[in-house]
Structure 1
Amino acid sequence: MNMTDEEKKLAAEEKKLAAEEKKKQKVIDKEIQGTKKTGKDAPKSHGEILRDQLSDALETYNKSTSSILLSSVTAGLEIGFSYLMICSVFFFLEGKMGEDSIFKMISLVYPLGFILVVMGQSILFTEQTALLTLPVLNKKQTSGAMLRLWGLVVIGNLIGGYAIALLLNWLGPRLGIFNNEVMVTIAKHVIAAKLPVILVSAIVAGWLMGLLSWLLASVRDTISRIVIIFLITSVLAFAGLHHSIIGSIEVFSGMLRSPDISLWDYLTFQGSALLGNAFGGAIFVALLKYRAFVFNIFGK
């Protein structure tokens, strides 16, 4: 079937746009790969951080499904040590100070699980969200591949979280380090806000976790990395922002112990927290940081 003049014109314009886009992408890739390394003691440049982040993300995409799932399950288990400390500290301080003050004090122990996960290089959804978005923006991976990887990581994190929650539900009361009432109180505190508030809170939390990933790529020594993890995650706890993975453990544990917390309560919380965390990490960090680099290259 012969093309009309209008169709030929549209096809030519599309071809021209595709060629221009391809040329533009080559310039971006050349700029990223050509970024010079800074000195050992000097802070990394924007381009150097972006290059390292892209490299790390592509390594994750190239891992096998079983490797990603196992690493994600491990992260879900390890983040449970934050929950262990949250419950233990709450039980220890209960009756000695007000409940509001206890929840603020918890911010001092909340970072433990995150330090274990990040320093141990397990795959945690919120810390990886922005990272895994970068290859899509850089046209090295598709959106479908990203969503598949997100799904694997979330499934692994949740499975690990359920396992550690069941273990701690059994162990905590038997060791006398916390009781059922503490788990229920913490769960109710997490889901006390209305769903729109949880969603926005999770967006901010995802933003901070994406920044955590970016900041970690900017430093080289272990002590600085631990300090950054502690500062960012303690802000999450002190401000009461919602994190989908540790929040899953908290609400799931409370659901097991109280009829006041239903499966619907858990599912609506979990859906809102996951959506918010993903949006916050992908949009506010990956997109903004990447676009800032591109604008710097083309000046528009």
Structure 2
Amino acid sequence: MTKQEEEIQENIDSELKKSDSKQNNSSKKSHGEILKEQICEGQETYNKKASSIILSSLTAGLEIGFSFLLICTLFYYAGGSFSEETLFKLISLVYPVGFILVILGQSILFTEQTSLLTLPILNNKREAGSLFRIWGLVIFGNLLGGYLMSLVLIWIGPKLGIFEFSTFEAIAKHVTKPDSLTIFVSAILAGWLMGLLSWLLTSSSETISRIVIIFVITATMSFTGLHHSIIGNIEVFSGMITSPQIEFIDYLKFICFAILGNAIGGAVFVALLKYRAFVYNVDGNHTNY
């Protein structure tokens, strides 16, 4: 790092400290305050042991499966009353439940953590290699938890009479129907929304408002059909296990493009843009001096 770069970094850190120490009578947080909290939260994840990260992300993969449980149940029971197209819109009413459980329960979900974990890299507090290591651990835990929850639901659903194997097939076919490029761009938009979700949650401290934010963002993803890698993992994996119409290549295509798209959406369109907007403002203020 050159002397000029060190001075710029010192200015950024100084502004972040000022934002953290400001006393504001209103509940509204400034851009700098939110950014400061986001960087600190990201740092906390980096400081955790690998075993803790894997266990927490495994828990998130399991918990988000409750969304899939409700999706399948609604799809099965409302199937005789609505068209399939309408059913996939109605699913948005129950889709957020797993996200609420995961996020308020503070389990580590890849798409929510994408921008959080990128910010310390942008702020020169961590190296890029450590980012990919953490991402790898979180993705592994989320996917593994999803596989386990999928196997449980495949077994329990028909026994309780709340859905059948045909339900898994219909949902998986719907998720994997678009071509690879469409899934990729759709996943970027979903990752963008999840990064914004993390940012908005930091700006709010009340539980009710946080639940509303989670519901609005995730219901938007579901209603518009955007691809979320972690819950989509359960949807497509379940279809692959129970139906010959969903092949391994369909699962592989989905999970690769969805993870990559989600990562880009959160890291670039939220973390990078939000951080650079703050930095440009800092540079402008110091230039004026």
What's the TM-score, normalizing by structure 2?
Answer: 0.97
Residue 216 (structure 2) pairs with residue 228 (structure 1): no
SS of the aligned residue for 2:210 comes to helix
Q: Which amino acid aligns with 2:239?
A: G
* Aligned twin of 1:19: 3
Q: How many Å apart are 1:153 and its aligned residue?
A: 0.2
2:17 counterpart letter in structure 1: Q
Listed one character per residue, the Cα deviations across residues 35-63 of structure 1 (whole Å, up to 9, x for unaligned) are 13454652111000000001110010000
Residue 3 of structure 1 corresponds to which residue in structure 2? none
Q: Quick one: which of 234, 238, 250 aligns to 2:223?
A: 238
| Equivalent residue in structure 1 for 2:17, among 30, 33, 36 | 33
Where do 5+ consecutive residues of structure 2 fail to align?
none
Q: CA deviation at 1:33?
A: 1.4
Deviations 1:234-291, CA, capped at 9 Å, x for gaps: 0000000000000000000000011111111101110000000000000000000000
User: Equivalent of 2:160, from 157, 170, 175?
Assistant: 175
SS of the residue aligned with 1:34? helix
Match of 1:121 in 2: 106
Q: What's the counterpart of residue 103 of structure 1?
A: 88
The one-letter code sitting in structure 1 at the alignment partner of 2:42 is A
Superposed CA RMSD in Å reads 1.0
| Unaligned ranges ≥5, structure 1 | 1-16
**Aligned partner (choices 132, 145, 149) of residue 117 of structure 2:** 132
**1:210 equivalent in alignment to 2:195:** yes
Whether the aligned pair in 2 keeps the contact of 1:68 and 1:153 (CA below 8 Å) is yes
Taking the aligned partners of 1:59 and 1:74, their CA distance within structure 2 comes to 18
Secondary structure class of the residue paired with 1:94: coil
Q: How far apart, in 2, do the equivalents of 1:40 and 1:97 lie?
A: 50
% identical aligned pairs: 60
Rounded to whole Å, the distance in 2 between the matches of 1:114 and 1:216 is 13
> Aligned partner of 2:36: which letter?
R
Q: Distance in 2 between matches of 1:233 and 1:168?
A: 22
Residue 296 (structure 1) aligned with residue 281 (structure 2): yes
Match of 2:33 in 1: 48
- After superposition, what is the alpha-carbon deviation per residue over 1:172-225, rounded to whole angstroms, capped at 9, x for unaligned? 010000000011000000001011000000000000000000000001100000
The counterpart of 1:161, out of the listed 146, 151, 161, is 146
Partner of 2:71: 86
Shift of 1:134: 0.1
Per-residue deviation, 1:23: 1.0
CA distance in 2, matches of 1:233, 1:260: 28
Count of aligned pairs between the two proteins:
284
Distance 1:254 1:24 in 2: 51
**Residue 133 of structure 2: aligned partner:** 148
1:252 and 2:240 equivalent?
no
User: Which of the pair has more CA radius of gyration?
Assistant: 1
SS in 1 for 2:2: helix
C-alpha separation in 1, matches of 2:202 and 2:84:
37
